[in-house]
A and B are shown apart, each in its own frame.
Chain A
Amino acid sequence: MTLNYEFMLETFVESLKGIPVTLLITAISLLAALPLGFIMALVRDGNKHKIAKAILDVYASFVRGVPMIVQIMLMYVLFPDILSLIAKALHLPIDIYGVPNIAYAILLFVLWTTSFLSETFRAGLHTVNKGQLEAAVSNGMTTFQGYTRIVIPQVLTNMLPVLCTNTNTLIKMTSLCFAMSVIEITAIAKIAAGNNLCYVEAYLVTALIYIIICFTVENIFKFMERNVSKKYKRLAAG
């Protein structure tokens, strides 16, 4: 078997144009899911908001239990129909079907990442002893300040390796967005593959691009880990 190298190079360059879309979905999902995931973790771990907790538990099971591709199809096929029914019922002059697909993709991935990260944060919250929050509150801080100044920085630090894996998982998951006609890396390669009947080449190129992205992300996280541990060990020798 010979590979069409010329096609591979062309597709590689062409697919790079999908990176902004991939990174946009990833970045918005992460930025939104960081606070939302924390709130979800706190509600699910706490005992105060029983109804919210029950709903979020079901939601977490749904996100964990339903394959991503099925979730994407539900969001892409079913959700706009529901929205347009609601819009019609409320006589809202909105063209639901005019909403760009990427909006649905972002919404889905924000929801997915929130649930995904909430599990990470739940584990992370257990790495910080509750006494520190008590100390913060008895020292005059509000509970919110206790979380944002004391607990959450430690959770993020302790969970950096897991967050790295989470981020890479998210990036790779966005490749399924081609199924909802969002033109990102995978979609561009797939279209090129179909036009030229060069599937193997296209998938190899796609794999290469994702490896490069994920490798970069991994190193960014490694850099952060090093910096954090340096900060805590800076004076250990002194």
Chain B
Amino acid sequence: MLEVRGIQKHFGDQHILKGIDLSIEKGDVTVILGPSGSGKTTLLRCLNFLENADCGEMTMDGRKIDLGRASAKDKAFVKDRTAFVFQNYNLYNNKTALENVTEGLILGRHMHKDEAIKTARVALDKVGLSDRENYYPSQLSGGQQQRVGIARAIARNPEIILFDEPTSALDPELIEEVLSVMRKVANEGTTMVVVTHEMSFAENVATKVVFMDQGVIVEEDTPQVIFTHPKEERTFSFLKNIIHDTDYVI
């Protein structure tokens, strides 16, 4: 469904992505793990053209795109088929929860307003925020804001939803409500790529775990293998540091 080959990205002198190959099948929930600075977020942003990769190749739905020379049409093609959930939600502060969802449908998809509202209500219902549709982001908790962010993504009915550390900015007690929405979305068969530090999500929901370090993919496998028998030393030491209960790993 989505395949990328040899993605490279520099920021100034810094070589952030050093040739990433990744392939995502329909229905996959791919979790990307790795220490900070390993390039996880940059990779995710390159998949949605929020960042332009220096070079590499992308194949999406049979369309081949040279990432170093992607045209505006290529980018629109990919953006139309993907949705992004941001670490700090990035809701439109001047719009209500409902408008946050409808805005992109009306302007980007040229959907009729009534239809967009209907679609948005279904999405808000799915994230459990039907009763908050007229609230502005400033009136919502972080967890609720992120759920609106997820509703905004699923309302577009994208082929892939990209999650960039969706729970990192949240208070611990608010993390679960977002994760449970994500679990629900995953169980419906939505293709997801998730950058996260939530190991329980990676272990229980992911169909594939990718471990990145210093701009390369060190190892990728099913969560069972990654969490119990990682092949690479770096994967093992990372997981050991993150999961204090070391008996749990291996």
Contact = CB atoms under 8 A, between A and B. Distances in A.
B88 A131 contact: yes
Interface residues of A, number: 22
Using C-beta atoms within 8 Å of the partner chain, give the interface range for chain B.
20 to 34
A135 B92 contact: yes
Nearest to A145: B107
Given A129-B88, A134-B90, A154-B94, A139 B139 contact: no
Nearest to B99: A149
Nearest to A152: B94
Contacts of B83: 138-139
Contacts of A128: 93
B84 interface: yes
Interface in B55-85: 79-80, 82-84
B94 A131 contact: no
B107 A149 contact: yes
Contacts of A142: 107
B92 A132 contact: yes
A139 B91 contact: no
A138 B88 contact: no
Given A138-B79, A139-B152, A149-B103, A235 B92 contact: no
Interface in A90-130: 128-129
A124 to B, nearest CB: 13
Interface of A: 128-129, 131-132, 134-142, 145, 149-150, 153-154, 157, 232, 235-236
Nearest to A232: B136
Contacts of A138: 48, 50, 79, 82-84
Given A131-B88, A138-B79, A150 B95 contact: yes
- Name, among B48, B105, B139, the residue most crowded by chain A CB atoms within 10 Å (CB to CB): B139
A149 B139 CA distance: 20
**The 10 residue pairs across chains A and B that have the minimum distance between CB atoms:** A140-B108, A139-B104, A131-B90, A135-B90, A138-B84, A150-B92, A141-B107, A140-B104, A153-B94, A154-B94
